[in-house]
């Protein structure tokens, strides 16, 4: 592309000689992930590395991720230029790449500063001739026994680096292990390195799934030092808003998937739809619902593909173990529950069906799950008496007054059964410009529970989530980590009681200190609605309850230090289209104090962005300066 230049008035130094071109033999097996990574910039300058991400719909939505500190924001996203396939022609060249495959324009979707993530949606699908892949990911938060980085060191030709030792969860630029940390620490690279310009590049686990984006570190060809990658796990839920979390974009249908593989249509030529797995329920011995699932295998490539199909569960069998699909052809493949399921004991039983391609492309998988047994009530609260849960803001137990409803409908005038409910402001609407406020249960013993579901009567009024938010969060570790299991996906204007059921099993099954909280807020300035009203709450699961009392046996005075949430990363919400020039509206503040981030030697840590780029007048990373102002990456 004519006019593209590297940062600064002088030619930058070439990438270090220890870097490994992605066309080298070391990179064999990583072709799909390599094709998801690109270098990008603005106005002829190259800034950082980014990568295309798959979503659970596997519909090839062009979602492009990078590091938040690189400075892509809602103001400049429309001018983003992404360059695909900028790589050496020969192994060891570390040069000679071409910037011919590019596209312009994107829409900013989200950022989460704490773990250094930004996501944009490119304005158009990549040209099929560019052969772009969509990287798989793992949001489980698990550590990995090794790691691979694919990046543009110094914004030069694409390279690949290998770490053969386990990764560690820490905070940014910390060596201290912390399971709730914001970053993944790579001890040192066994092959290759990273450099300025590698920022925003993905870190893949040994299963070829992205788990982080590069924030920075001290690695170079000269020094075997650590790098830190912002955790996808932390950015998944972010601070609970669509503009501050990945989940809305990478799992648009709310499937709850924790992993997905790389989608490379140009390599496999085969797309497996739908992305859902087979989830079966039923009593011991059957019958089971549903009894089968069917996927369509569509070969969109220009060559025939043979697909081998296997199931690792004896109770689920594919209709064929091998299918040949001609170019531009398709076939259906069904997996059915077998008689082996009749011998399964009560509980959850999981498996996987795997589609393997004879052209060496990454396999596709779909989850299998059987939930065997009849659910029983573990806990129930009819709210005729006050269970004494922790309340923040205007949450209260009592009789709703039937007021409110500036927009939508008013509160009810009684419970679904009886008179009392838990509600947010029983005498009217919630406030505007409100921080998130919680109603939180005491601790619940679900150590014997499988397939746990929350069921309750709901009367809710709330504006669209771009402006106001209502959600349900659960924890399985006594409040250390909370996960959103339900949120409003549009305006809700209940005018009668509605039975709501939410699957919370992924978080609380087997937990001895689970909790649930209903969240009201945050809200913008403008329309207000009646908010939450809830009644007749039950927790059902397969298993044997350890407690049979109707009311919560845990201490009703259990302190809830999250009743009004820690807002280190959550400011009063405003519409996503807010006028940033309005001085009355607070902006996000950095969550990392750059002056406090040092290594053991006392040296300031550094981001892996270019250190030779001019200041903002020519497009420097303003957001990066706000979060990592004093941090400079030690160069090779």
Rounded Cα distance, 114 and 112, in Å:
6
Give the residue from 239, 246, 153, 258 showing the smallest Cα distance to 196: 153
Rounded Cα distance, 168 and 146, in Å:
10
Q: Where in the sequence numbering do the catalytic residues fall?
A: 69, 116, 199
Reduce the DSSP state of residue 27 to 3 states and report it.
helix
Name the burial class of residue 502, with classes exposed (0-12), middle (13-18) and buried (19+) by CB atoms within 10 angstroms of its CB: middle
Question: Exposure pattern of 137-158 as b/e (b: 16+ CB <10 Å)?
Answer: bbbebebbeebbbbbbbbbbbb
User: How many Å separate Cα 314 from the centre of its chain?
Assistant: 32
Give the residue from 462, 471, 458, 488 showing the smallest Cα distance to 408: 462
Give the residue from 259, 248, 266, 275 showing the smallest Cα distance to 121: 248
Rounded Cα distance, 571 and 561, in Å:
18
Rounded Cα distance, 296 and 533, in Å:
43
Q: Is the four-CA dihedral 42, 44, 45, 49 of positive or negative sign? A: positive
Q: Are strands 117-122 and 63-66 parallel, antiparallel or unpaired?
A: antiparallel
Question: φ, ψ for residue 109 (rounded to 5)?
Answer: -115, -45
Question: φ, ψ for residue 247 (rounded to 5)?
Answer: -60, -40
Q: Work out the number of other CB atoms within 10 angstroms of the CB of residue 330.
A: 14
For the record, the structure tokens of 442 come out as: 């005491």
Q: Work out the number of other CB atoms within 10 angstroms of the CB of residue 3.
A: 8
Report the DSSP beta bridge partners of residue 74.
Answer: none
- Element (DSSP H or E) covering residue 591: none
Q: Are strands 364-372 and 316-318 parallel, antiparallel or unpaired?
A: unpaired
Q: Are strands 437-440 and 515-520 parallel, antiparallel or unpaired?
A: antiparallel
Give the residue from 37, 16, 4, 158 showing the smallest Cα distance to 87: 158
């Amino acid at each position: 592309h004519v006019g593209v230049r590297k940062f600064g008035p002088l030619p930058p130094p070439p990438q270090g000689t220890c870097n490994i071109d992605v066309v080298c033999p070391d990179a064999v097996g990583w072709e799909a992930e390599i094709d998801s990574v690109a270098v990008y910039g603005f106005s002829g300058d190259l800034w950082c590395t980014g990568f295309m991400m798959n979503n659970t719909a596997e519909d090839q939505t062009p979602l492009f991720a990078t590091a938040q500190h690189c400075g892509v924001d809602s103001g400049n996203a429309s001018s983003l230029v992404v360059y695909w396939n900028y790589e050496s022609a020969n192994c060891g060249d570390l040069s000679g790449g071409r910037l011919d495959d590019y596209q312009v324009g994107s829409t900013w979707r989200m950022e989460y500063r704490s773990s250094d993530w930004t996501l944009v949606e490119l304005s158009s699908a990549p040209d099929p001739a560019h052969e772009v892949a969509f990287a798989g990911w793992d949001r489980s938060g698990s550590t990995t026994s090794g790691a691979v980085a694919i990046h543009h060191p110094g914004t030069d030709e694409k390279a690949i680096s290998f770490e053969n030792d386990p990764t560690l969860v820490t905070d940014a630029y910390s060596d201290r292990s912390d399971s709730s940390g914001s970053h993944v620490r790579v001890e040192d690279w066994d092959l290759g390195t990273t450099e300025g310009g590698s920022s925003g590049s993905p870190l893949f686990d040994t299963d070829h799934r992205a788990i982080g984006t590069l924030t920075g570190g001290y690695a170079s060809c000269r020094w075997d030092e650590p790098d830190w990658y912002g955790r996808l796990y932390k950015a998944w839920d972010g601070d609970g808003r669509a503009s501050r979390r990945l989940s809305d974009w990478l799992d648009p249908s709310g499937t709850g998937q924790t992993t997905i593989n790389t989608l490379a249509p140009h390599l496999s030529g085969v797309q497996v739809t739908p992305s859902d797995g087979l989830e079966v329920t039923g009593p011991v011995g059957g019958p089971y619902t549903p009894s089968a699932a069917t996927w369509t295998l569509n070969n969109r490539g220009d060559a025939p593909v043979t697909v081998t199909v296997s199931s690792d569960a004896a109770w689920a069998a594919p209709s064929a173990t091998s299918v040949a699909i001609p170019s531009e052809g398709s076939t259906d493949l069904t997996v059915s529950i077998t008689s082996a399921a009749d011998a399964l004991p009560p509980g959850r039983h999981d498996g996987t069906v795997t589609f393997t391609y004879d052209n060496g492309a990454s396999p596709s998988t779909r989850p299998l799950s059987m939930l065997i047994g009849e659910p029983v009530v573990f806990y129930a609260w009819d709210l005729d008496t006050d269970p004494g849960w922790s309340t923040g803001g205007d949450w209260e137990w009592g009789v709703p007054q039937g007021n409110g409803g500036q927009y939508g409908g008013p509160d009810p005038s009684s419970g679904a059964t009886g008179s009392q409910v838990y509600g947010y402001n029983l005498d009217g609407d919630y406030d505007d410009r409100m921080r998130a406020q919680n109603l939180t249960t005491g601790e619940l013993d679900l150590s014997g529970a499988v397939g746990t579901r929350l069921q309750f009567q709901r009367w809710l009024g709330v504006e669209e989530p771009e402006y106001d938010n209502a959600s349900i969060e659960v924890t399985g570790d006594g409040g250390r980590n909370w996960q959103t299991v339900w949120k409003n996906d549009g305006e809700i204007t209940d005018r009668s009681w509605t039975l709501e059921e939410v699957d919370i099993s992924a978080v609380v099954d087997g937990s001895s200190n689970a909790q649930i909280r209903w969240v009201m807020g945050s809200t913008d300035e403008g329309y207000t609605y009646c908010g939450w009203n809830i009644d007749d709450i039950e927790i059902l699961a397969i298993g044997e309850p350890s407690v049979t009392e109707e009311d919560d046996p845990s201490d009703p005075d259990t302190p809830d230090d999250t009743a009004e949430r820690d807002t280190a990363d959550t400011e009063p919400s405003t519409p996503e289209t807010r006028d940033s020039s309005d001085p009355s509206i607070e902006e996000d503040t950095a969550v990392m104090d750059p002056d406090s981030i040092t290594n053991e030697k006392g040296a300031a840590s550094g981001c892996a962005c270019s250190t030779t780029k001019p200041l903002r007048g020519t497009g420097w990373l303003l957001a990066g300066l706000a979060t990592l102002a004093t941090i400079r990456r030690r160069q090779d």
